[in-house]
Each structure stands twice: as C-alpha cells, then as structure tokens.
A and B are shown apart, each in its own frame.
Chain A
Amino acid sequence: MSETLLNEIRATKPEAPSALRERVRALSVQEHAREPFLDRLRFTWGWRRLALAVPATVVVAFAAAGVIGLSRDGARDQVSAVGGGDTAVTSSTFEQAQAEDSAAPKAASPALPSRATGIVPPATGQLQRYEAELRLQVDDVEALSTATKRAQQIARSHDGSIASLQYDAPSEGVGTAQITLRVPTARVQSAMAQLSQLGTIVGQRYGIDDLQAQADSLQSQIEATQRQIAQLVSRLQSTTLSDAERAVLQSRLSNARTKLTGLREELRGTNAEARTATIYLTMTTEEIQAVPVGGGRLDGVKDVLAWEAIALLYALVVVGPFLIVGVIVWLMLRLRRRHVETRLLEQN
C-alpha cells in the first residue's frame, strides 16, 4: 500500500459538521437535567469487584463457621457445667461394650484412683448373713465398660457369680452400672478389695446379720423332732396298742418326719446364706458430655463448614444445569450475533 494513499486518507479525515457538534453539546445538558434518579444510584458490578467478592464470600463463610461452631461448643460446655438436661437413652449397650473389648482380664488401671476399703471381715466359725454395698465413680463410659467387665471377672475368680446386672451409658448425663455379685463369705474381703480398685469410692455400706442363733434354734428343733420320732417309733412297736391308738401314733410320726425334713431344709438354706455374701456394686461416670464423633473443639467449626459445603454443593447441583444451559445459550447467541455482524459488514 502506497504511503501516498494512506496520507490522503489521513489528510481527508471527515470532520463533524457544526450542526452535529451543537447537537452533542446540547445533549449533555439535556441529559443531565432528565437523568433518572435510579441511574444516579445504580451500582455497577465489574469483573474486578466480582473477583473480590468471591474471596470475601469464602472469608465470610469461614468466619461464620468459626463463630457458630465455637459458640455452639461454648453452649454445650455451659450445659454440662450446670449438669442440666435429661440423659438420653443409651446408644451403646453393655453387650456392645463387651464386644468392643474382649481383651484378657487386667489389673485395675493405675489411672483410676482408689483407696483401701475399711470393710469389716466376717467372723470365722460363725454363721452370718453378709451384705455389702459399694459405690464407685469412674472417669467415662469407656472406663465404666471396662470396670463392669472386670467386676464380672472378680466375681468368677472368687468362685462367685453375677446375680443381676444393669448397664446404662447414655450419650449425655451420667452412665451407670449396677451389679449384684454373690461371692463366698470367706472370700468377700478379697473381692471387695479388688472391686474397690475399679474406681473412686464414693460410698460404701455393709451389714452383718447373725444367723448362728437361727441355725442353733433349727438344730435344736431338729434334734427335738428326732427324739419325738424315736419315741413314736418305740411306742408303735408295743403290741398292746389298739387300732385307734396305733393310727393316731402313725399320723404323729408322719407329721414329725415331714417337720424334720422342713427343718433340715431350712438349716441347709441358712448355712448356704451364711456361706455366700451379696455385694451390691454401683458404678457411675462423671457427667458425660455429648462430644461429637471425632471430638475436639474445632469440630463445631468443621461441622458448620461441612454444612456450608453441602449447601453449596446442593445449590450447584440444583442451579448447575441451568447455569450450563444458560452459558451455552449465551455462547450460541454471541456466536450468532458475531455471524450476523460479519454478514452485515460484508453486505454494506
């Protein structure tokens, strides 16, 4: 292209006619006078402002999660401090706890505070009914589970048994385990000593009833009944008895024998009762806080963030297809507009 032609084009640049110039000068004054109120207030969003808005939104989301999450933790702390609220029904049963820990019996954890029991040993050589109640506190649900299993092992190791067991480990509140153990009275002191090491002793009570007098009385009655039976048998051997007298003696003999059987049963029961002591063991946890899975103070923040992410994901899933369709339509319209423009510029 020759420079001459280019210079000619530049040199002959069309100039706006004065009428147009006056029109444009008048425009600004007229437009200023009738500028709509809303136009003056209009806030336009540029891409740069949008680019700032995105990180700002993320910061706000994190801040909100922090405030909500931490304040929720604080509220939970307050609730547990006053000890209010109903305890929820346990979600973990004793059987589950047992299944969780099938480890071999082990000694009481040294972390569990204990002190020697001031238990009075049963008197040897004398029949007594021995009952003891022991109340312990353990640290948490896990310790409660372990202590419950350990109590069963202690009963078995002392040739005893578990008469009843109730275990409750709620998600909030106080966990409890109530166990009734029966162990030989001769070994009750050892059993109590071991049981008391399962937690901190918060209370204990024991009671001894003398069964010796009862046993002695039964023994006297047995011996008296035996003598009565011997006399009846002796009289029945006499040949001078009439039939009526013989029938009466037979009846008395039968009653005496029945009575003897009952007395012997009762004496055996008394002896058995004296041989076995009953221990009522109650273990409780400290106030259980409803700690979410995973624990930790920042979990509240993570929870809120997770919910925010879920909400965002949900919004994306719902709005996403519309956005994609919108973008496709916008691109197609833009392409079509370009095509039309090109055609118009070619034709004119």
Chain B
Amino acid sequence: MTLPRRQPASVAEQAASFAATAEEHLDDVYAYLVYLTRDRSLAEDLAADTFEKALKHWRRFDASRGSARTWLCQIARTTALDWFRAEERRRRREERAAVPERFEDGGLSPGLSPGLSPELEAALRELSAGEREVIALRVLLELDGDEAGRVLGISPTAVSTRLSRALKKLEEKVSIHV
C-alpha cells in the first residue's frame, strides 16, 4: 500500500506551481479576508501576508490532506486572527495611556464589495467576524461542509449550525434595514 504523497519538485517547479496556485485562489482568499475584517485595505495587506507565509511553507503543503484553497484559507484565517490579537493589544495599550483611538467602522475602507445593496452591506457589517467568515466560506467561496470545517477547526455539523444561525441573523438585519 502506498500513501498518497506530493511528489517532490525542483525549486523552480515549486515556485511556478505556487505562482499558479496563488493566481487561481487569490480572489477567494481576498474575498474571505474582506468579509472577515470588513476592511478592503486591511484585507489586501493580510492577503499579501497570507501568500508570503504560504510560499514559505509551500513545501509542507500536502494535497492529499485538503485542497490548496482550504490550506490558503487556513493561513489567511490565522493571519487575520494574529492581526486581531495585535490590534486588541494595541487598543488596550492606548486605553491605558488614555488616548482612545477605537477601531471603528469609520476607519475602514468603505463597502465590503461595490455591488452590494446598502441594506445587505449594513446587515453584513453588523454581523460578527465569526458569522461573516462562515458566510464567506460557505456562500461566497462555496466550500463544502468538510472544507469549511477544516478552515474553522470545527466539525461539518458545527459549520452547518453556525451558517444557519448567521444567515438567519443576516436576514433579520436585512429586513430591519429595508
């Protein structure tokens, strides 16, 4: 019995393969990060960081354990959470120094996506990052339950439950804004 494993490639092939993968999934990673952070500028920076990390660890990527898109979304999520943590620490330091500079919507790049209706845009912004990310993964990127669960570190059932609650909440908020 042979275990499926990624064939070792030369450095040039590796780089070329990574470039193709990055090109293919760049939009997905960026869209996911936009939904997660509600900030297109920030999402752009985090996406760049994500691909930098991905290239660094490209040798460790094992296609038999999941698709490249799932792997990239996992890295993107970790990158975003690291940024959230750093931002929280920064806010705490500023609060202790009595110079409040809150991370507010006003500081974000306007609009999740140019084509979204104002009601849906507002409703999405009012959701938590956790709710937005499950919608991004399941609706926007159309990952299946297993893949989304792998990105979020939860079971497919938990993904379904979380998605259901998020969509219900989104619908309620859209109806309020209409």
A interface residues with partner B (beta carbon < 8 Å): 1-2, 5-6, 8-17, 19-21, 23-25, 27-29, 31-32, 35, 39-40, 42, 44, 46, 48, 338, 340-342, 344-348
In this complex, what residue of A is CB-closest to B135? A9
A-B pairs with lowest CB-CB distance, top 10: A345-B130, A12-B115, A16-B30, A348-B129, A1-B167, A12-B113, A32-B15, A345-B129, A344-B84, A14-B34
Q: Which residues of A contact B26 (CB under 8 A)?
A: 16, 20-21, 24
Contacts A10-B140, A14-B34, A16-B26; A345 near B85 (Cβ below 8 A): no
Docked pose: A40 CA to B170 CA in angstroms: 47
Give the Cβ gap from A217 to chain B, nearest Cβ, in Å.
102
Q: Which of A10, A28, A348 contacts B22 (CB under 8 A)?
A: A28
B35-92 with Cβ < 8 A to chain A: 35-38, 40, 43-44, 47-48, 51-52, 55-56, 59-60, 62, 81, 84-85, 88
Interface presence of B122 (CB below 8 A): no
B174 interface residue, CB < 8 Å from A?
yes
Interface size on B, residues (CB 8 A): 58
Q: Which of B48, B62, B135 has the most CB of A within 10 A?
A: B48
Instruction: Point out the residues of chain A lying under 8 angstroms from B159, CB to CB.
Output: none
Cβ–Cβ contact B59 & A42, under 8 A: yes
Instruction: For A12, list chain B residues within 8 Å (CB).
Output: 112-116
Interface status of B147 (Cβ within 8 A of chain A) = no
A278 to B169, CA, bound (A): 116
Contact yes or no, B3 A48, CB < 8 A:
yes
The CA of A17 and the CA of B114, in the complex, are separated in Å by: 12
Q: Once the chains bind, are A9 and B22 in contact (CB under 8 Å)?
A: no
29 pairs, A vs B, C-beta closer than 8 Å = A1-B168, A5-B170, A8-B117, A9-B116, A9-B120, A9-B135, A11-B115, A12-B112, A12-B115, A13-B113, A13-B140, A14-B30, A14-B43, A15-B31, A16-B30, A16-B47, A20-B47, A24-B47, A24-B48, A27-B52, A29-B15, A31-B52, A48-B3, A344-B88, A344-B129, A345-B84, A345-B128, A347-B129, A348-B38
Please state if B114 and A32 are interface contacts (CB–CB under 8 Å).
no
Question: How far, in angstroms, from A32 to B142 measured CA to CA in the complex?
Answer: 32
Contacts of B130 in A (CB 8 A): 342, 345-346
Please, which residue of chain A has its CB at the minimum distance from the CB of B84?
A: A344
Q: Report if B23 contacts A (CB, 8 A).
A: yes
**Which partner residue on chain A sits nearest B19 by CB separation?**
A28
Residues on the B chain within 8 Å of A5, using CB: 120, 170-171, 174
Residue of A342, A346, A348 with highest tally of chain B CB at under 10 A: A348
Shortest Cβ distance from B172 into chain A, in angstroms? 10
**Beta-carbon contacts under 8 Å, B12-30 to A:** 12, 14-16, 18-19, 22-23, 26-27, 29-30
Query: Is B11 in contact with chain A by the CB < 8 A criterion?
Result: yes
Q: Number of A-B pairs whose CB atoms are under 8 Å?
A: 128
With A13-B27, A31-B52 as given contacts, are A2 and B62 in contact (CB-CB < 8 Å)? no
Within 8 A of A (CB), among B106-147: 112-117, 120, 128-130, 133, 135, 139-140, 142
B100 at the interface (CB under 8 A from A): no
- The CA-CA distance from A174 to B12 in the complex, in Å, is 75
With A5-B174, A25-B19 as contacts: A20 and B113 at CB distance below 8 Å: no
A5, A13, A46, A347 interface centre (most CB from chain B within 10 Å): A13
Q: Which residue of A lies closest to B17 (CB)?
A: A28
- Bound together, the chains give a CA A8 to CA B14 distance in angstroms of 37
CB neighbours (8 Å) of A15 from chain B are 27, 30-31
**A8, B84: Cβ atoms closer than 8 Å:** no
Closest B residue, CB atoms, query A348: B129
Contact present for A31 and B55 (CB under 8 Å): yes
Q: Apart from A9-B135, A17-B40, A344-B81, what 17 extra A-B contacts exist at CB < 8 Å?
A: A1-B167, A8-B117, A12-B112, A12-B114, A12-B116, A14-B43, A16-B29, A16-B44, A21-B23, A25-B23, A27-B48, A39-B56, A39-B59, A344-B88, A346-B128, A347-B88, A348-B128
